[in-house]
Amino acid sequence: QKEVEQNSGPLSVPEGAIASLNCTYSDRGSQSFFWYRQYSGKSPELIMSIYSNGDKEDGRFTAQLNKASQYVSLLIRDSQPSDSATYLCAAEGGSQGNLIFGKGTKLSVKP
Amino acid sequence: DARVTQTPRHKVTEMGQEVTMRCQPILGHNTVFWYRQTMMQGLELLAYFRNRAPLDDSGMPKDRFSAEMPDATLATLKIQPSEPRDSAVYFCASGLVGTPGEQYFGPGTRLTVT
């Protein structure tokens, strides 16, 4: 059973701080990883993808991948109250292109 | 702008009734996914299609759930008979074969079975 594990939180950080979200995955064959953001009552939306070891930066967001440790993280710099949401980590599940999602980490950014 | 649409947005029904949810993927997208989201289980993949052909429906309870794509602009998920444990938000997502992780989600159907 392929799994993606995340700490459910909630993770609470003050405005302007760095929020660090983490996940681990079970399938060593997974090559592609994604972070989706889901606001309360809304649908998930893709915010970051990462395919190779190391860091990938996009504005205030940095995704980090360590395939040896089977570990993916998302850093949000200068956190804003508008970043308050649940963040879902996903790994590509196989050759057919499906995704395996973690249960999500709820982030709360306090003004 | 292009987006995935789902109908109905909310559905309340009694146990034993048939429920049909519909999804219109983004025009040109050739993969369609059905997910179910609950607090306990998170986001679970029920079924997915590529070029309208079902690739995997192993996540669905086969005895009561069925998923189809009668044409490229319509995907359906049917539950018959419905049970209280089916209460959840059902999402449809679409994407392209070449970018499998980039899925665009519809607004969801919130189903309540009493």
State the pLDDT at residue A5. Answer: 95
Instruction: Report chain B residues whose CB lies below 8 A from the CB of A35.
Output: none
Instruction: Report chain A residues whose CB lies below 8 A from the CB of B100.
Output: 32, 92, 97-99
> Closest to A44 (Cβ–Cβ): which among B41, B56, B105?
B105
Instruction: Report chain A residues whose CB lies below 8 A from the CB of B95.
Output: 97
For testing the chain A interface, which of B105, B109, B110 should be mutated: the one with the most A CBs within 10 Å? Answer: B105
Tell whether A99 lies on the interface with B, counting CB pairs under 8 A: yes
Measure A100 CA to nearest chain B CA, in Å: 8
State the pLDDT at residue A20. Answer: 97
Q: Rounded to whole angstroms, how far apart are CA atoms A28 and A16?
A: 35
Residues of chain A falling short of pLDDT 50:
none
pLDDT tens by residue, B80-101: 999 999 999 999 999 998 887 8
Q: Rounded to whole angstroms, how far apart are CA atoms B10 and B102?
A: 26
Strands (E), chain B: 5-7, 10-13, 19-24, 31-38, 42-50, 53-56, 65-71, 74-79, 88-96, 99-105, 109-113
Angle value at C-alpha B82, between B80 and B84, nearest 5 degrees: 165
Q: How many CB pairs under 8 A join A and B?
A: 58
pLDDT tens by residue, A82-93: 999 999 999 987
The pair phi, psi for residue A81, each rounded to 5°, is -55, -30
Residues of chain B falling short of pLDDT 70:
1
Q: Rounded to whole angstroms, how far apart are CA atoms B57 and B50?
A: 12
* B15: its two tokens: 């146990």
